Amino acid sequence: MKKIFAANWKLFKSPQETRSFLNSFKKVFSQATGEVVFFPPAISIEAASECLKGSGIHFGAQNCHAQVQGAFTGENSAQVLKELGGTYLLIGHSERRQIFSENDSMIGEKVALAQNLGLIPMLCIGETLEERESIHTFRILETQLALGLSKADPSKPLVVAYEPVWAIGTGKVATPEQVSETHTDVYNILQRLGFTAPILYGGSVKPDNASNLLAQSHVGGFLVGGASLEVESFIKIAST
């Protein structure tokens, strides 16, 4: 199975910056060893759609509402993403959970909506440093997966991204042993729930640690934050 290299740009890159980056990236895209997905900020999705048409590079949204339309000021429509040619939907990122108070039930609704529209949900899971130190990692991930996938269809495409919250944007990286152990746990939980899905690792992934991390058990690729904002660093990761 092809590895997946996904770029979460968070609240960075205007439409103009998106076009400039993607036009440069297309020139080196042939170096990538797997599938590449970009998650630009909502206001730049149409720019990404225009730039990536026919390129073989995928894009998606960082969030959506659980309804395709309605009186939901400030929300994004998964249906509009689909109409723009998007293929992936990032759901349940730790920043959505922590800053915007999204719970597992709400996340489960979004996963089901994405699948029903023919989009591929990329479900994010992960524990805080306190939860890991309290030896609650397995229980936290098991709950997030069970509830996040409670309305999902095992026969439809799904990607899971494991991001230890304590390693996102902190410069801290889980050791290869921790990544291998946790990804194996996630794989086993998914099997028990009846799902098969690539499991991406996210958490301060950089060109100099990508190769070692990718070699670990059940690591199906990366969800990259800061290192995806520059063409040179991201293509180094995507060509691992």
**What pLDDT is stored for residue 158 in this prediction?**
98
Contacts of 194 (CB under 8 A, 6+ apart): 154
- Residue 133: pLDDT above 90? no
- The three-state secondary structure class of 94 is helix
Give the mean pLDDT of 92-117: 96
**What pLDDT is stored for residue 83 in this prediction?**
97
Question: Residue 210 — very low, low, confident or very high, per pLDDT cuts 50/70/90?
Answer: very high
Which residue is listed with tokens 């939901």?
72
Question: Residue 128 — very low, low, confident or very high, per pLDDT cuts 50/70/90?
Answer: confident
CA dihedral 37, 197, 119, 9 (to 10 degrees): -30
Q: What is the mean pLDDT of the chain?
A: 95
- Residue 169: pLDDT above 90? no
Instruction: Indicate which residues carry an active-site annotation.
Output: 93, 163
Question: CATH number of the domain at 4-238, please?
Answer: 3.20.20.70
The C-alpha angle 140, 150, 187, rounded to 5 degrees, equals 55
Contacts of 72 (CB under 8 A, 6+ apart): 65
Q: What pLDDT, in 10s, does the model give residues 48-99?
A: 999 999 999 999 999 999 999 999 999 999 999 999 999 999 999 999 999 9
**What pLDDT is stored for residue 32 in this prediction?**
97
Q: What pLDDT, in 10s, does the model give residues 15-54?
A: 999 999 999 999 999 999 999 999 999 999 999 999 999 9
The residue extents of the domains of the chain are 4-238
**What pLDDT is stored for residue 132 in this prediction?**
80
- Residue 173: pLDDT above 80? no
| Nearest Cα to Cα of residue 51 among 18, 77, 13 | 18
- Residue 225: pLDDT above 90? yes
Query: Is residue 163 a contact partner of residue 203, using CB atoms and an 8 Å limit?
Result: yes
The least confident of 39-53, 96-110, 160-174 is 160-174
